[in-house]
């Protein structure tokens, strides 16, 4: 069967199965939503969102295109990482270079970039680290995927509320609390390539009102043996390598008492790198990276009156990155092995104060300020001599306000703006405008505009290797994006809803690394401009007996404005079908996921093949709800597929795993 016929059948099945779906239960009334605290978010139906405006509102009232993935979906689709969750979302796609998972959004995924244009939050706390500004979506996430209550994905620019990095999307991971867990839970799983993982969690609401969840997870895996034709030579083991192993652990605590909340999280991971990037020795198992992240956050939230609520939070963050890269510096046949060492040391504090008020009927005003102090932004690189030993500290702050005014019974206007000030480059002002028109009781039209920015990070500003190949720039300006979007949302029946989005964005002053012709050294500079236009169609629903379907199709044209060439790593077509079906009522569920990725241009000007991935999960829950057994088959039909490589790779395309499996057992005491 050809790929085109597969796609046609996928789209046909998408429409057919989507028509059988049903929407979530009706939302509470508007006043009730306004009065609810963030802590009450755990019990809210999936048609409300917090992250779009920093207060709880109906999705239809949010000045953004929003998708929400719930804990039940995460469990029944067998998602193992946040990256797999996000890969199922309209307009999103994921790459993996055998080191990290990377996120593409609406046709933009810059090879070699560390996802600096998507903002990741965990329970409202920023998780883009303070040196390379990168979030993490794979095993390095600070919370086990089993502890996620829901994921709110807000597409489009978010700098008017969140500041830097929120160019393409804001992803907020909201975790479970002690009330949700309500007891002791242990879980163990095994999978392909000797993958193992264990978790123990405990949650309870005590008589004095303390709501507590604590959890610990540990996992590891050997990874597959891989073949890279670029190294198919007897001197390099005929292209065969087994250095894709991984190891991680995380600790997580969430507590609340009265108006106060606490989150403490730590994760550490180690990963082998089998691709021999940056000219390292192929097959040497000493080439690997280690990451560890720690968060300690405290929040306070209180309703001062029936019209005003206050929220304050402060957090301490700790991030370490250690890389070991093995090189052969020999100038003859005798090996001269040198281990190059790279590290980041990031330490920072951030605090935010926010007031949400309804001064008049039909008005909601959200205003606040945020301050961040980077106590350490250290980078170093050395082997037999030191090439870089740079220590920095910096600060930045931002002020924001957003007003939502229902000017007519069926028309709401939203206007917001944020001003940020950085030590490194100065100030940036980013507005948001929206008109939300209730065409009818079941149809909403949104007209959206927003600007966002990304501040140049410490890696781009200060990283160099002593002048042998790279140098630090004299100055860098922030990147900016202007996005225009039209969203039409309609509930066809109480069981079926759809949305159609058309968007256009322009990204200016993109930061990239280029060769300076004056000295032939690599340097970061503002040079690129990107223009993109696209459409996203989504259809979804839910039946009371547990049947769910969500489907989407996305088309994007993203081009380099200087050359009019299509961007590398930018698939035009994405199509997705997700279906949860009860096999035995309330006991056994099947989760089916089919994803089509169009072909992508590589850095060498070639193209990856388009592909269709199919994943199947079965979830059994005992009548007592204490025992759960889950099994998953990923890439069910063993499809060969690859993602574009980055500039550090010899490989123009990096092959991905064939069919894999996982078996998981969970017991709740």
**Which pLDDT score, from 0 to 100, does residue 545 have?**
83
User: What tens digit of pLDDT does each residue of 568-583 get?
Assistant: 999 999 999 999 999 9
pLDDT at 16: 43
Q: How far apart are CA 256 and CA 263, in angstroms?
A: 9
Total number of domains in the chain: 1
Query: Is pLDDT at 441 greater than 60 in this prediction?
Result: yes
Domain for residue 419, yes or no? yes
Residue 531 is predicted with a pLDDT of 97
The whole-number pLDDT of residue 494 equals: 83
Whether residue 170 has pLDDT greater than 60: yes
Q: Is residue 20 part of a domain?
A: yes
Note the helical H segments in 399-547: 458-462
**Which helix (H) or strand (E) covers residue 418, if one does?**
strand 411-422
Q: Let me know: does 505 contact 483? Beta carbons within 8 Å.
A: yes
If we measure between CA atoms, which residue out of 215, 154, 208 comes closest to residue 180? 215
Which region among 300-304, 520-524, 624-628 has the lowest average model confidence (pLDDT)? 520-524
Lowest mean pLDDT among 15-29, 216-230, 365-379, 533-547: 15-29
> Taking Cα atoms as reference points, which of 568, 572, 635, 576 lies closest to residue 598?
572
Q: What is the mean pLDDT of the chain?
A: 91
- Pairing mode of beta strands 169-175, 118-122: parallel
Give pLDDT, residue 521.
82
What the block records as the tokens of 96 is: 């993996």
pLDDT at 473: 85
Between CA 639 and CA 645, with CA 642 as vertex, the angle to 5 degrees is 170
Please tell me the distance from the alpha carbon of residue 597 to that of residue 612, in angstroms, as a whole number.
7
pLDDT score for 515: 79
pLDDT at residue number 112: 81
Using one digit for the tens of pLDDT, what is the confidence trace for 38-63?
445 444 445 899 999 999 999 999 99
43 dihedral zone (left: phi>0; alpha: psi -120 to 50; beta): alpha
Residue 161's domain spans which residues?
3-186+382-668
In a domain, 275, yes or no: no
**Predicted pLDDT at 528:** 87
When comparing pLDDT for 31 and 413, which is higher? Answer: 413
Would 541 be classed as within a structural domain?
yes
Share of the chain above pLDDT 70, in %: 93
- Which tens digits make up the pLDDT trace of 604-634? 999 999 999 999 999 999 999 999 999 999 9
Tell me the three state secondary structure of residue 231. helix
362 has pLDDT over 50: yes
Q: How many residues does the chain have?
A: 669
Confidence at 3, pLDDT banded by 50, 70, 90:
very low
Burial pattern 433-455, b for ≥16 Cβ within 10 A else e, equals bbbbebeeeeebbbebbbbbbbb
Question: Within a 10 A sphere around the Cβ of 307, how many other Cβ atoms?
Answer: 16
Q: Does any domain span residue 317?
A: no
pLDDT of residue 578: 97
Q: Compute the distance between CA of residue 396 and CA of residue 453 in angstroms, rounded to an integer.
A: 14
522 pLDDT band (50/70/90 cuts)?
confident
Compute the average pLDDT of residues 263-279. 95
The β-bridge relationship of strands 426-440 and 443-454 is antiparallel
State the sign of the Cα–Cα–Cα–Cα dihedral 237, 238, 242, 243: positive
Instruction: Dig out the tokens for 146 from the structure.
Output: 């089993």
For residues 323-348, give the mean pLDDT: 93
In contact, 593 and 88? CB cutoff 8 Å: yes
- In whole angstroms, give the CA distance from residue 401 to residue 428: 15
Q: Write down the pLDDT at residue 452.
A: 98
Segment 563-568 mean pLDDT: 92
Instruction: Pick the more confident residue, 526 or 545.
Output: 526
Helices (H) and strands (E) in the chain, counts: 7, 36
The whole-number average pLDDT for the span 448-462 is 96
Tell me the average pLDDT across 22-47: 44
The contacts found for 402-408 with CB under 8 angstroms, 24 or more apart, are: 402/53, 402/54, 402/160, 402/161, 402/365, 402/366, 402/367, 402/432, 403/363, 403/364, 403/365, 404/53, 404/61, 404/63, 404/363, 404/364, 404/365, 404/366, 405/362, 405/363, 406/362, 406/363, 407/362
- Grade residue 654 by pLDDT with cuts at 50, 70 and 90: very high
The pLDDT, as a whole number, for residue 604 is 92
Identify the pLDDT of residue 355.
97
Please answer whether residues 267 and 292 qualify as being in contact, where contact means their C-beta atoms are separated by less than 8 angstroms: yes
What pLDDT was estimated at residue 111?
A: 84
Among 98-102, 176-180, 330-334, 647-651, name the one with the lowest average pLDDT. 330-334
Residue 290 has pLDDT above 50, yes or no: yes
Q: Phi and psi dihedrals of 482, rounded to 5? A: -115, 125
Q: What is the largest CA-CA distance in the chain?
A: 80
pLDDT band at 334 (very low <50, low <70, confident <90, very high): confident
Residue at token pair 């504090």 = 349
pLDDT at 30 over 70: no
Relative to beta strand 211-221, strand 246-257 is antiparallel
For Cα atoms 473, 479, 482, give the angle at the middle one, nearest 5 degrees: 165
524 vs 255 pLDDT, higher one: 255
> Which two three-digit tokens encode residue 313?
């939070």
**pLDDT score, position 373:** 98
Residue 253 in tokens: 């605590």
| pLDDT recorded at residue 377 | 97
> Is 194 within a domain?
no
Provide the pLDDT confidence category of residue 18 given band limits of 50, 70 and 90: very low
Q: What is the CATH number of the domain that holds 438?
A: 2.40.170.20
Q: Which pLDDT value is given to residue 42?
A: 43
Question: Does the pLDDT of residue 26 top 70, yes or no?
Answer: no
pLDDT tier, 65 (very low <50, low <70, confident <90, very high otherwise): very high
pLDDT at site 31: 43
Measured CA to CA, the distance from residue 457 to residue 377 in angstroms comes to 10
| Domain annotation covers residue 75 | yes
Please say if the pLDDT value at position 19 is more than 70: no
Structure-token pair, residue 546: 């547990």
**pLDDT interval class at 10 (50, 70, 90):** very low
Q: pLDDT value at position 332?
A: 84
13 within some domain: yes
Of the two residues 405 and 514, the one the predictor is more confident about is 405
Average confidence (pLDDT) over 549-572? 95
């Amino acid at each position: 069967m050809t790929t085109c016929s597969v796609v046609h059948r996928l789209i046909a099945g998408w429409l057919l199965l989507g028509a059988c779906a049903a929407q979530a239960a009706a939302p509470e009334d508007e006043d009730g939503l306004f009065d609810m605290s963030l802590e009450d978010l755990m019990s809210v139906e999936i048609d409300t969102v917090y992250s779009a405006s920093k207060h709880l509102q109906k999705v239809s009232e949010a000045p953004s295109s929003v998708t929400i993935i719930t804990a039940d979906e995460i469990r029944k689709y067998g998602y193992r990482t946040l990256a797999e969750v996000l890969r199922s979302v309209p307009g999103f796609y994921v790459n993996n270079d055998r080191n990290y998972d990377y996120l593409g959004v609406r046709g933009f995924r810059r090879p070699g970039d560390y996802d600096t244009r998507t903002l990741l939050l965990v329970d409202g706390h920023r998780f883009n680290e303070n040196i390379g500004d990168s979030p993490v979506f794979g095993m390095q996430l600070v919370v086990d995927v089993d502890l996620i209550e829901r994921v709110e994905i807000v597409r489009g620019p978010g700098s008017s509320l969140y500041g830097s990095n929120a160019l393409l999307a804001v992803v907020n991971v909201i975790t479970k609390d002690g009330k949700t867990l309500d007891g002791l839970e242990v879980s163990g799983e095994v999978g392909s390539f000797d993958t193992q993982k264990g978790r123990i969690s405990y949650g309870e609401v005590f008589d004095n009102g303390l709501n507590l969840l604590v959890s610990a997870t540990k996992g590891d895996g050997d990874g597959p043996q891989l073949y890279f034709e670029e190294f198919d030579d007897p001197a390099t083991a005929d292209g065969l390598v087994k250095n894709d192993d991984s190891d991680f652990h995380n600790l997580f605590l969430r507590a609340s008492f009265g108006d106060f909340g606490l989150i403490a999280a730590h994760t550490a991971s180690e990963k082998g790198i089998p691709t021999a990037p940056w000219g390292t020795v192929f097959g040497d198992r000493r080439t690997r990276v280690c990451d560890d992240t720690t968060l300690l956050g405290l929040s306070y939230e209180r309703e001062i009156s029936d019209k005003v609520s206050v929220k304050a939070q402060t957090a301490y963050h700790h991030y370490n990155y250690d890389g070991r890269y093995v090189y052969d510096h020999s100038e003859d046949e005798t090996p001269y092995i040198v281990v190059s060492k790279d590290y980041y040391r990031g330490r920072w504090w951030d605090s935010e104060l926010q007031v949400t008020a309804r001064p008049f009927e039909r008005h909601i005003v959200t205003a606040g300020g945020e301050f961040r102090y980077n106590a350490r932004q250290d980078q170093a690189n050395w082997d037999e001599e030191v090439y870089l030993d740079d220590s920095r500290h910096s600060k930045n702050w931002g002020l924001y306000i957003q007003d939502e005014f229902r000017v007519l019974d069926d028309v709401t206007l939203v206007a917001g703006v944020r001003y940020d000030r950085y030590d490194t480059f100065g100030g940036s002002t980013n507005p948001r405008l929206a008109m939300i028109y209730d065409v009818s009781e079941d149809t909403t039209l949104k007209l959206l505009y927003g600007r966002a920015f990304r501040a140049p990070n410490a890696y781009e500003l200060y990283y160099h290797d002593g002048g042998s190949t790279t140098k630090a720039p004299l100055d860098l300006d922030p990147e900016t994006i202007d996005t225009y979007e039209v969203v039409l949302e309609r509930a066809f029946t109480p069981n079926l809803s759809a949305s159609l989005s058309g968007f256009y964005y322009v990204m200016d002053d993109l930061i990239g690394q280029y060769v300076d012709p004056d000295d032939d050294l690599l340097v970061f500079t503002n040079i690129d401009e990107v223009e993109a236009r696209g459409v996203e169609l989504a259809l979804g629903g839910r039946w009371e007996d547990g049947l769910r379907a969500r489907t989407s199709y996305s088309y994007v044209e993203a081009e380099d404005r200087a050359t009019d060439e299509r961007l590398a790593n930018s698939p035009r077509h994405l199509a997705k079908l997700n279906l949860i079906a009860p096999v035995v009522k309330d006991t056994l569920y099947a989760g089916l996921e089919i994803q089509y990725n169009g072909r992508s241009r590589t850095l060498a000007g070639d193209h990856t093949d388009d592909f269709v991935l199919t994943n199947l999960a079965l979830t059994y829950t005992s009548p007592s709800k204490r025992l759960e057994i889950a099994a998953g088959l990923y890439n069910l039909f063993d499809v060969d597929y690859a993602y574009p490589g980055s500039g550090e790779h010899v490989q123009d395309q990096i092959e991905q795993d064939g069919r894999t499996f996982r078996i998981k057992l969970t017991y709740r005491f």
